[in-house]
């Protein structure tokens, strides 16, 4: 059985994004959360699908990214691991991604 693990930051990201979307539409926010979970499930079965990321921070080695279907400006950053994937962050594509991952906490 494949597993999807989410970092505490990724969980916070999902809540923040859903809350932001819910300002305009609660239904859209619910669709976003469902689409995110569907993307996680697909990635856990085929973890090499995402694009390899290259950031200056060595702690980001092995990170990949994938957009959420229907919400293409929301990006999943994850790492394939034995038995599944670790979701590291879920962010809006307009954010300064390089800066987010330049921190040592990512």
The predicted-structure confidence for 6-26, as pLDDT tens digits, reads as follows 999 999 999 999 999 999 999
72 has a pLDDT exceeding 90: no
Sheet arrangement for strand 64-68: 3-6, 84-92, 71-81, 64-68, 51-52
- CATH numbers and ranges of domains, the chain: 3-100 (3.30.2310.20)
Q: What is the DSSP secondary structure assignment for residue 101, as one 8-state letter?
A: T
Stronger pLDDT, 14 or 106, i.e. the higher one: 14
- In the prediction, which pLDDT does 104 show? 52
Residue 106: what pLDDT? Answer: 47
Question: Which letter does DSSP use for residue 23 in this model?
Answer: T
User: Quick one: how far is CA 105 from the chain centroid?
Assistant: 16
Tell which residue, 31, 27, 41, 32, has the closest CA to residue 13: 32
Per-residue model confidence as pLDDT tens digits over 15-70: 999 999 999 999 999 999 999 999 999 999 999 999 999 888 888 989 999 999 99
| Nearest-angstrom CA–CA distance, 45 and 90 | 19
């Amino acid at each position: 059985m494949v597993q999807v693990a989410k970092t505490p930051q990724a969980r916070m990201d999902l809540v923040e994004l859903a809350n932001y979307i819910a300002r305009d539409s609660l239904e859209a926010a619910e669709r976003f959360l469902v689409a995110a979970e569907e993307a996680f499930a697909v990635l856990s079965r085929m973890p090499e699908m995402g694009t390899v990321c290259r950031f200056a921070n060595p702690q980001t080695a092995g990170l990949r990214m994938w957009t959420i279907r229907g919400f293409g400006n929301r990006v999943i950053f994850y790492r394939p691991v034995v038995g599944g994937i670790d979701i590291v962050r879920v962010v809006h594509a307009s954010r300064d991604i390089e800066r987010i991952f330049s921190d040592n906490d990512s």
